[in-house]
Amino acid sequence: MPTICSRRDFLKLSGLGLLSVAGNAVARTEKDSRPNVLVIITDQQHAGMLSCTGNPWVKTPNLDRLAGTGVRFEKAYCGNPVCVPSRFTMFSGTMPSVIGMDSNKGAGRPVSAGILQNAMGAIFKRAEYRAVYGGKTHLPGAGKHHGEAEAYGFETLAPNVAEGREELAEACVKFFQQKQERPFLLVASFINPHDICFMAITADKPAASKKKNKSQPVQCLEAALQMPAGVSEKDFFAKYCPPVPANFEIPQDEPEALTHLDWRPFRAYVRQHWTEQDWRRHRWAYARLTELVDAQIGRVLEALKQAGLEEHTLVVFTSDHGDMDSAHRLEHKSMPYEEAMHVPFIVRWPGVTLRGAVDREHLVSTGLDLIPTLCDFAGIAIPAELKGCSVRKLAEGSTVEDWRKTLVIENENSRILHMGRNKYVVYAQGKQREQFMDLDKDPGEMKNLASDPAYKNQVEQGRRALQEWYSAHGLKLDPQYIVTD
């Protein structure tokens, strides 16, 4: 039975009550110098939800320390800003459109044996790693393992902790105490700050139904929404609660196709009815849930250290997608805006990667690039079928002359071409089918330049570059995303 997250438990976890771990008697031979690999994933954490990025409204000391001892990639983007397609890309190294999936509605689509043969766990298992997965999966699959990590070559972390909460941190601690006969790949997939979703999901429900909904996610959200003890509501909004972001308002030229992207009724309801204080409370709770998962991650990282494994382990941290976090009066994910697509990505192997570095130049795909990066560090040949890039040289401080200049993010009803400074978006339908953003001049994406005559040539370049990207990766761009005029 899952443990309900009470207010007391929430504060205890946020206070980072670390478990001590006895030294791990590693039984591997000295000749096997390959690193262990620990992949930590959160759910729905956008790139700005780290205090080391300069966000004053959230405190993430454990992830900050990880970034301070490794490399943080500032321009990292998910393959698709919603759970199942993003996770499919991360664990298969393949774009979701290859299996005809562009939203969570495609979770039941079959995945071919050829794709699963080159899935993350399968690759490492063939290389005689122990490949273990714990926490939330949310993956499409095949056969008897449909939707499970086993389809991707993993064994399940014992005990089975599919919820990805404090029990997952506990299971990881116990895993590090075990003797390891061979190097391991451990995926720790945490659920939070995803519980923020339930603030909007329950917003348009009658009060009576809310009282009946005492699930673990709602309990954790309710704890996160609590104001600091002894603080009045006036002082809470004056001193503690985050303000709305600079891009809080709805852009005047927002394409109508956006309202068809996973646009469940509650999303329209909160956009129309929430007050500014409601949106600020949402931001407050989102930060608290991020701090909660930071504390859980801290337990895992401390256990790794106490077990004597830190120096021999590559740690990679990311999130499956972000959250709109009140930008454009939106919450949840699935939008082709930065808040939903832009995610954290940290790589650390003590003594190998740079220490405390921030890469603000290179476009990284946390989907396509994750498996090649892990393989590169582990000395495993990267399957030719995978078109991603390893960030190892970048993380070690080497220059990579031919790094990608553009990156595609797929989405329901749209395709996005990111060019670093500029971003081109094309929708499958609607009168206004394109967006073009200058992120240097307009980081909040409030102005669509697609119809501005001054940007005509750049928009046309974006159209061509989108087609070229798909062609270069051996993929098909569906005709509805090709604009000729």
Structure confidence by residue, pLDDT tens digits, 181-199:
999 999 999 999 999 999 9
Phi–psi pair at 190, nearest 5 degrees: -85, 155
- Residue 65 Cα to chain centre, angstroms: 19
The mean pLDDT value of the chain amounts to 90
DSSP 239: I
Beta bridge partners of 462: none
**Residue 483 neighbours by CB distance under 10 Å:** 17
What's the whole-number mean pLDDT along residues 154-180? 91
Q: What's the mean pLDDT in 387-412?
A: 96
Quick one: pLDDT at residue 33? 85
Cis (ω within 30 of 0) for the bond into 193? yes
pLDDT at 17: 40
pLDDT at 22: 37
Q: Determine how β-strand 313-319 pairs with β-strand 36-42.
A: parallel
Q: Is the pLDDT of residue 282 over 80?
A: yes
Quote the pLDDT of residue 426. 97
CATH 3.40.720.10 domain locations along the chain: 7-15+33-196+284-404
Tracing tokens 């490399």 back to the chain, one arrives at 71
Contacts of 66 (CB under 8 A, 6+ apart): 301, 315, 317, 346, 348
> What is residue 15's predicted lDDT score, i.e. its pLDDT?
47
Which residue reads 């993430």 in tokens?
60
How many residues are present in the chain?
485
With beta carbons less than 8 A apart as the criterion, state whether 184 and 27 touch.
no
Name the more confident of 1 and 118. Answer: 118
pLDDT, residue 20, reads 37
Mean pLDDT, rounded, for 221-240: 96
The DSSP symbol for 107 reads T
Which residues in the chain are classed under CATH 3.30.1120.10?
408-481
Count of beta carbons in the 10 Å neighbourhood of residue 105:
13
- What's the mean pLDDT in 121-127? 97
pLDDT of residue 84: 93
Percentage above 70 pLDDT, the chain: 90
Residue 4 pLDDT > 70, yes or no?
no
Strands 155-156 and 184-189: unpaired
pTM: 0.92
CA–CA distance, 471 with 466 (Å, rounded to integer): 9
Ramachandran area for residue 138 (φ above 0: left; ψ -120 to 50: alpha; else beta)? left
The 10s digit of each residue's pLDDT in 429-474 is 888 899 999 999 999 999 999 999 999 999 999 999 999 999 999 9
Residue 16: per-residue pLDDT: 40
Distance of CA 351 to the CA centre of its chain: 26
Q: Give the amino acid at 304.
A: L
At the topology level, CATH places domain 408-481 in Arylsulfatase, C-terminal domain (3.30.1120)
The topology (CATH level 3) of 7-15+33-196+284-404 is Alkaline Phosphatase, subunit A (3.40.720)
User: Residue 132's closest CA among 158, 111, 113?
Assistant: 158
- pLDDT band at residue 109 under the 50/70/90 scheme: confident
Mean of the pLDDT values across residues 43-68? 98
> What's the confidence (pLDDT) of residue 256?
83
d(CA 399, CA 183): 29
* Range 65-74 average pLDDT: 98
3-state class (DSSP) for residue 131 = strand
Give the integer Cα–Cα distance in Å for 447 and 442: 7
Cα–Cα distance between 253 and 435 in angstroms, integer? Answer: 9
Per-residue model confidence (pLDDT) at position 254:
87
d(CA 474, CA 15): 48
Q: Determine if residue 388 is left, alpha or beta; phi over 0 gives left, psi from -120 to 50 gives alpha, anything else beta.
A: beta
Say what the pLDDT of residue 6 is: 46
> Which band of pLDDT confidence, cut at 50, 70 and 90, is reported for residue 214?
confident
Q: What is the average pLDDT across 224-248?
A: 97
Q: How far apart are CA 296 and CA 16, in angstroms?
A: 7
The mean per-residue pLDDT over the stretch 385-392 comes to 96
Would you say residue 56 has pLDDT above 60?
yes
